[in-house]
Structure 1
Amino acid sequence: MDFSLPALLFWLKKLLAALVLPPLLPLLPVIAGLLLLGRRPRLGRVLAWGGVALNLLLTLPASVGWLAKQLEDPRPLSLEASRGAQAIVVLGAGRRDYAPEYGGETLNRLALERVRYGARLARTTGLPLLVSGGGIGDETAEAVLMKSALEEDFGLTVRWAEARSRDTRENALFSAQILREADVRHVLLVTHAMHMPRAQAAFESAGLIVTPAPTGWLADHGAPSEARFLPGQLPNANSAYAGWFAVHEAIGRLVYRLSQ
């Protein structure tokens, strides 16, 4: 295991994130409330029921959909907007460590959503690809896994693989270094619509001109749809995941603003 300071800070950040993200986030006031019932029953009940209410807000499709709309970039990339770009940058999103059918590690479904759209853009525009994402310790860098998927599964060539980054800011800084050496200034940036505003700001701060190429929307930004069958509006795995992603992104943006 890597015990270097950057690695330890990375895992500390992961631990803190786990405490302030669902499913632990709404459980903390519930636990605190139950512990206080004997000494401060009124406060205990308020905290416990508040945690239950927060859990519902972060899992109900209606409330999660509203929150996602506030955070997502609603605009898909148009062909006209892509003109002038010199390269496509695809950001990593995670791995599956146990993938025996692939001989070890592989990309998780979030990363595959980005890779798939990056491949589509590469075929449509003919632009070269850069993939960005590192690893911790002995892990295979995400960029290596992304490059393998694009070349072996999608039949495309990846020109650059940025394999050092641990977060979005490092994605931007290290990718910009590679691209400047190739005289590339304008990129199509591929990431999830929820993550796009934060990623775009990081890449622009690194000195690149960014045209957003979002994918994987979690909210419906079109016209209001017809009323859905009631079970579809009850908490479910998809809405719980979307709620987690939305809180993760909201906290990430807050941290970025405070650290600027």
Structure 2
Amino acid sequence: MSWFITVFISALLLPPLSLILLGGIGLYLLPRRPRAGKQAITLALVLLCILSMPIISDRLLAQFEHYPAINLAHPPAADAIIILGAGSYFDAPEYGGDTVSRYTLERVRYGARLYRATHLPVAVSGGNPAGGSPEAYLMRNALAEDFAVPTRWTETHSDTTWDNARNSRALLPPNIRTVYLVTHAWHLPRAIYAFKHAGFKVIPVGTAYSLARHVSPLDFIPQPRGLTNSYFAVHEAIGLIWYHLKG
């Protein structure tokens, strides 16, 4: 229930629902306070347009990508690899059941590459807040079946990044102190804060950098990908503030 409440409150604060609510308030105000109503509707439409432009949203998301890509040719010393979950693909007909989402797969794929460079034991962390099989089981299966990478530890009870850190610390042996933390580049600041708070020394390992591609004229046109990246950017900003208050 706490996960549902958190997700519901987040949805109210994040685009597109926050912009829809702002536009709805404008419509409500139009008969009573026409000027304020028009301003609210205009602001909602302008923000929707701006946040849907990849040229804007990619740069918003890049503000959280503080850590450069790791050099796999000369990786620093660590004790283990921890890969964080990022959702599931439920009832996938082509796989005959639940499997990892595309975002989780991006993390799993790079975690497999890191394993081949270091041969360190791998931990996967992710529960099932939305139902279905725990993400960690799906990640373990993908690592074994698609990348031939073994998983040493499987943490299946986490609903949030904060839980990932706390539960991973409880699961891993005390001698596992320094870990490679594999997640999306824009998720690293919040994840690192949580894992350091849990007692780990963290080596950040980011993947799927938002600016790792050429800019095209289409990036100036509002589109769903832009709105998605803006969603993630605002989500990380709110999450960082909440974690610092929580910490």
Instruction: Flag whether TM exceeds 0.5 (same fold).
Output: yes
- The root-mean-square deviation of aligned C-alpha atoms, in Å, is 1.7
1:48-197 matched pairs, under 5 angstroms: 48-79=41-72, 82-136=75-129, 139-181=132-174, 183-197=175-189
> Deviation at 1:170?
0.8
2:235 maps to which of 238, 241, 248 = 248
How far apart are the structure 1 equivalents of 2:204 and 2:129?
28
Using the aligned pairs only, state the percent identity.
Answer: 42
Contact 2:194/2:243 (CA < 8 Å) preserved in 1? Answer: no
Unaligned runs of 5+ in 1: 1-7
How far apart are the structure 2 equivalents of 1:259 and 1:74?
23
> Deviation at 1:81?
6.6
Residue 258 (structure 1) aligns with:
245
> Deviation at 1:137?
7.8
Q: 1:119 to 1:80 in 2, by over 3 A?
A: closer
> Deviation at 1:228?
3.0
> Deviation at 1:9?
1.1
Contact 1:73/1:214 (CA < 8 Å) preserved in 2? Answer: no
Q: 1:81 to 1:26 in 2, by over 3 A?
A: farther
How far apart are the structure 2 equivalents of 1:259 and 1:138?
26
How far apart are the structure 2 equivalents of 1:107 and 1:197?
23
Residue 37 (structure 2) aligns with:
44
Is residue 29 of structure 1 aligned with residue 22 of structure 2? yes
Residue-by-residue CA offset, 1:201-240 (whole Å, 9 max, x unaligned): 11111111100000011134x9xx6x733x3321122212
> Deviation at 1:74?
4.2
Letter in 1 for 2:216: R
Residue-by-residue CA offset, 1:145-192 (whole Å, 9 max, x unaligned): 0000001111111011011111001100111122234x2111100000
Residue-by-residue CA offset, 1:36-81 (whole Å, 9 max, x unaligned): 1000001001111111111122111222133122122340012477
How far apart are the structure 2 equivalents of 1:198 and 1:174?
16
1:228 maps to which of 204, 216, 221 = 216
Residue-by-residue CA offset, 1:99-153 (whole Å, 9 max, x unaligned): 0221211111000000000000001111110000011385211000000000111
> Deviation at 1:256?
1.1
Is residue 210 of structure 1 aligned with residue 202 of structure 2? yes
Letter in 2 for 1:129: V
> Deviation at 1:98?
2.2
How far apart are the structure 1 equivalents of 2:24 and 2:130?
35
Unaligned runs of 5+ in 2: none
**Could you state the TM-score of these two structures normalised by the residue count of structure 1?**
0.90
1:17 maps to which of 4, 10, 31 = 10
Contact 2:73/2:117 (CA < 8 Å) preserved in 1? Answer: no
Is residue 238 of structure 1 aligned with residue 212 of structure 2? no
Q: Hey, which bits of structure 1, 4+ residues long, moved more than 6 A?
A: none
